[in-house]
């Protein structure tokens, strides 16, 4: 169906891109898709919005909007109810390791591969079955390894290829699977391909995207997405840092290179990949300007030309056919901006693309961006969470996560006072291990690690934060205001060293770490928490074990029970029945679940009639 200004809104949302784009637009306005499905607004024609907005929606915005809406056409995946197949990765608990901050084995203040090996027994003790390791490849480190110089060798600071082979073996000896983080959208500007391109080698020039006159796309790390290279006499596209140059995936040689690299690592025994911003690999032909209104709504100009580009599904299918399927490799793609229906295109079991993906809408409140100064309201993520439980279809399997290396700590984000750190961290664990999907724990989340009390710009390391500060202050934002934004949104919060013990440098390293250790390590650390039955760590361990012993918590059906907006109450049903009751607020609430049975889990040590702040209970029937 071709969408035009004459298409009714209720028909627009029948297509994958229509559904997701409209849902996202409404979400950012704090509204729900029900507005279109359940009210006469659904009968309005798209063009009417332009007229009704009194100039707020321009004609060029509507053109861009209609182009996005038509970008995918009808959904091709099966809408039939299906039988959810079983798979190891649906049953596994993943643990994400950020190597630089996990464990330093050689006393240089930087985490390394041998350090990860040292701590595999801890990961096993936690109950995780698989590790996602952020990039460890040779890199000049403009973006902590997400700028790869050589995909087949290891960053010297982290160790050697032999160390990684040892890591694969040690994981497998413990029945832990290992997935590695492949960055296929861009390479470092120090990669041999780019260096050859700069020297005028035509073959390698064709690996990247060039322009004499850059379009208006902006970079995720501030400023224009184009950098001028005098040697080439042209600008090269970089959606991220200016040392991360986007590859031209329309060039079959680039795709072949990437498939060979994936094959190299699969031959070494890794079990799959986390695919960095993989949904950005295909860009609209000719790289046209982005619509400024779409840009300001989404935060980045040009995004409609690559967030689910014209050949994305085709390239993912090719990748799967050429490399992934023959090895039976697992994949989880990072797909920012993809809504549910477009995600179904990528992860449907009948589509031959990826196993799973990460979509991020639930980890920011509607209308908010990461650097906004605000307390995350847990209530506001519920509609999004529930939608992924109920509308993603039997053919797809959600990922469950609330933290990673790109986001502040969830317990701090939801409560900057720190008063309810323990309760919120445990509440998050309840969601991770009782919702349907594959849980991803980010290192330190299982300890309830918090944000770092950054005071000075010199304490930050992340290129995104430093660029953001520079951009804001150069646009007239006062320095203390800009510092506050960093304090709320910086990725460095998640990158401070893992807190292993109350010893020197939190037991992370014998020398001063590359980034500050959170001063609260004397209380919040793995050693102390292992010894405390009421700790966040032991809560994670017991919930992981509960999930493993009751397969209903994995494969059982999900049903939300309607109560008030302050609570999240749901049921997982199969051979057994679990009811989860969560108080999403910092105030006492009435417990609507009248049961004579006592809960099998509570995030408070003692029972009570009413629900206390952020209380989370699991009942089994």
Contact with ligand NOJ (CB under 6 A): which of 129, 242, 276, 403? Answer: 276
Measured from the CB of residue 461, what is the shortest distance to ligand NOJ in angstroms?
13
Measured from the CB of residue 240, what is the shortest distance to ligand NOJ in angstroms?
4
Question: Within 499-518, which residues bind ligand NOJ (CB under 6 A)?
Answer: none
Question: Within 359-398, which residues bind ligand NOJ (CB under 6 A)?
Answer: none
Is 528 buried (19+), middle (13-18) or exposed (0-12) by CB count in 10 A?
middle
Token code pair at residue 157: 């600071």
Measured from the CB of residue 164, what is the shortest distance to ligand NOJ in angstroms?
20
x/- map, 426-465, ligand NOJ, by CB under 6 A? ----------------------------------------
Q: Decide: 558 and 572 in contact? Cβ < 8 Å.
A: yes
Residue closer to ligand NOJ, measured from CB, 146 or 454: 146
Residue closer to ligand NOJ, measured from CB, 96 or 603: 96
277 touching ligand NOJ, by CB under 6 A: yes
Residue closer to ligand NOJ, measured from CB, 276 or 451: 276
Residue closer to ligand NOJ, measured from CB, 135 or 383: 135
Q: How far is CA 487 from CA 283, 431, 521, 605, in A?
A: 33, 26, 19, 32
406 touching ligand NOJ, by CB under 6 A: yes
Contact with ligand NOJ (CB under 6 A): which of 92, 113, 179, 183? Answer: 183
Residue closer to ligand NOJ, measured from CB, 274 or 380: 274
Query: 137-138 and 150-154 as β-strands: parallel, antiparallel, unpaired?
Result: antiparallel
Nearest-CB residue for ligand NOJ: 146
Residue closer to ligand NOJ, measured from CB, 23 or 277: 277
Question: Within 541-580, which residues bind ligand NOJ (CB under 6 A)?
Answer: none
Report the DSSP beta bridge partners of residue 580. Answer: 570, 618
Contact with ligand NOJ (CB under 6 A): which of 132, 208, 210, 240? Answer: 240
Measured from the CB of residue 146, what is the shortest distance to ligand NOJ in angstroms?
3
Residue closer to ligand NOJ, measured from CB, 307 or 614: 307
Residue closer to ligand NOJ, measured from CB, 299 or 418: 299
Task: Tell which residue, 589, 583, 587, 584, has the closest CA to residue 610.
Answer: 589
Under 8 Å CB-to-CB from 468, ≥6 apart: which residues?
221, 222, 371, 482, 485, 486, 489
**Catalytic residue list contains 510:** no
Token code pair at residue 603: 């995030």
Measured from the CB of residue 576, what is the shortest distance to ligand NOJ in angstroms?
37
Measured from the CB of residue 134, what is the shortest distance to ligand NOJ in angstroms?
8
Which of the residues 129, 157, 304, 334 is marked catalytic? Answer: 334
**Catalytic residue list contains 201:** no
Under 8 Å CB-to-CB from 94, ≥6 apart: which residues?
128, 129, 130, 131, 132, 179, 438, 439, 440, 441
Residue closer to ligand NOJ, measured from CB, 242 or 615: 242
Measured from the CB of residue 406, what is the shortest distance to ligand NOJ in angstroms?
5
Task: List, in sequence order, the alpha helices (H) in 1-104.
Answer: 9-12, 16-28, 34-37, 46-52, 59-70, 88-91
Task: Tell which residue, 434, 401, 376, 313, has the closest CA to residue 71.
Answer: 313
Q: Decide: 45 and 7 in contact? Cβ < 8 Å.
A: yes
Find the helix or strand (DSSP H, E) in which 465 lies.
helix 463-474
d(CA 37, CA 23): 11
Measured from the CB of residue 181, what is the shortest distance to ligand NOJ in angstroms?
8
Measured from the CB of residue 405, what is the shortest distance to ligand NOJ in angstroms?
6
Measured from the CB of residue 362, what is the shortest distance to ligand NOJ in angstroms?
16
Q: What are phi and psi of 26, to 5 degrees?
A: -65, -40
Is 216 buried (19+), middle (13-18) or exposed (0-12) by CB count in 10 A?
middle
Q: Decide: 116 and 498 in contact? Cβ < 8 Å.
A: no
Q: Decide: 134 and 145 in contact? Cβ < 8 Å.
A: yes
Q: Decide: 206 and 257 in contact? Cβ < 8 Å.
A: no
Residue closer to ligand NOJ, measured from CB, 382 or 515: 515
Which of the residues 276, 291, 313, 349 is marked catalytic? Answer: 276
Query: 438-442 and 557-561 as β-strands: parallel, antiparallel, unpaired?
Result: unpaired
Dihedral of CA atoms 582, 584, 589, 593 in degrees, nearest 10, equals: -20
x/- map, 105-144, ligand NOJ, by CB under 6 A? --------------------------------------x-
242 touching ligand NOJ, by CB under 6 A: no
Cα dihedral 413, 99, 268, 129 sign: negative
Q: How far is CA 80 from CA 57, 394, 524, in A?
A: 37, 8, 48
Task: List, in sequence order, the alpha helices (H) in 320-438.
Answer: 325-327, 340-347, 382-390, 410-414, 421-434
Question: Within 317-336, which residues bind ligand NOJ (CB under 6 A)?
Answer: 334
Token code pair at residue 202: 């035509």
Please identify every residue annotated as catalytic.
276, 334
Interface residues toward ligand NOJ, by CB under 6 A: 143, 146, 183, 240, 276-277, 334, 405-406
């Amino acid at each position: 169906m071709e969408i035009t200004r004459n298409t009714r809104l209720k028909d627009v949302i029948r297509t994958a891109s229509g559904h997701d784009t409209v849902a996202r637009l409404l979400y950012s306005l704090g509204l729900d898709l029900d507005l279109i499905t359940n009210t006469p607004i659904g009968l309005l024609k798209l063009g009417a919005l332009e007229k009704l907005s009194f100039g707020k929606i321009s004609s060029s915005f509507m053109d861009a909007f209609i182009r996005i809406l038509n970008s995918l056409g009808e959904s091709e995946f099966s809408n039939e109810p299906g039988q959810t197949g079983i798979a190891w990765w649906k049953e596994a608990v993943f643990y994400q390791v950020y190597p630089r901050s996990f464990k330093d084995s050689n006393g240089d203040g930087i985490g390394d591969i041998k350090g990860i090996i040292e701590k595999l027994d801890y990961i096993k003790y936690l109950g995780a079955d698989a590790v996602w390791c952020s990039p460890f490849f040779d890199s000049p480190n403009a973006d902590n390894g997400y700028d790869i110089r050589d995909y087949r060798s290891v960053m010297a600071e982290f160790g050697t290829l032999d160390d990684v082979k040892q890591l694969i073996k040690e994981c497998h000896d413990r029945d832990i699977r290992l997935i590695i983080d492949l960055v296929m959208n861009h390479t470092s500007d120090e990669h041999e391909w780019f260096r050859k391109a700069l020297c005028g080698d035509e073959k390698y020039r064709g690996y990247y995207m060039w322009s004499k006159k850059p379009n208006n796309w902006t970079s995720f790390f501030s400023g224009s997405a184009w950098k001028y290279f005098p040697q080439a006499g042209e600008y090269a596209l970089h959606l991220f840092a200016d040392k991360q140059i986007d590859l031209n995936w329309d060039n079959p040689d680039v795709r072949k290179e990437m498939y060979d690299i994936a094959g190299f690592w699969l031959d070494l025994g890794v079990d799959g990949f986390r695919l960095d911003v993989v949904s950005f690999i295909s860009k609209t032909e000719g790289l046209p300007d982005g619509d400024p209104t779409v840009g300001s709504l989404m935060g980045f100009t040009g995004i409609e030309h690559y967030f689910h580009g014209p050949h994305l599904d085709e390239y993912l299918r090719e990748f799967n056919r050429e490399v992934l399927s023959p090895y039976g490799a697992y994949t989880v793609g990072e797909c920012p901006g993809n809504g549910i229906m477009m995600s179904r295109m990528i992860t449907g079991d009948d589509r031959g693309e990826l196993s799973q993906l990460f979509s991020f809408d639930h980890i920011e409140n509607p209308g908010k961006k990461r650097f906004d100064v605000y307390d995350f309201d847990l209530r506001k993520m519920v509609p999004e969470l529930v939608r992924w439980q109920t509308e993603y279809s039997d053919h797809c399997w959600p990922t469950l996560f609330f933290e990673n290396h790109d986001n502040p700590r969830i317990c701090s984000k939801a409560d900057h006072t720190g008063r309810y750190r323990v309760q919120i961290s445990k509440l998050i664990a309840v969601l991770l291990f009782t919702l349907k999907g594959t849980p991803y724990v980010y290192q330190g989340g299982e300890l309830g690690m918090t944000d770092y009390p950054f005071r000075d710009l010199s304490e930050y390391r992340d290129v995104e934060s430093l660029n953001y500060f520079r951009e804001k202050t150069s646009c007239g934002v006062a320095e203390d205001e800009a510092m506050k934004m960093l304090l709320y949104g910086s990725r460095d919060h998640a990158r401070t060293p893992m807190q292993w013990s109350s010893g020197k440098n939190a037991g992370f390293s014998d020398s001063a770490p590359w980034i500050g250790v959170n001063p609260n390590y004397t209380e919040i650390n793995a050693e102390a928490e292992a010894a405390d039955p009421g700790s966040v760590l032991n809560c994670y361990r017991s919930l992981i074990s509960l999930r493993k012993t009751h397969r209903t918590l994995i494969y059982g059906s999900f049903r939300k029970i309607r109560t008030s907006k302050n609570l999240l109450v749901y049921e997982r049903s199969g051979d057994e029945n679990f009811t989860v009751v969560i108080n999403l607020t910092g105030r006492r609430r009435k417990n609507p679940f009248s049961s004579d049975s006592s809960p099998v889990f509570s995030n408070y040590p003692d029972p009570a009639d009413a629900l206390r702040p952020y209380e989370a209970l699991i009942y089994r029937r």
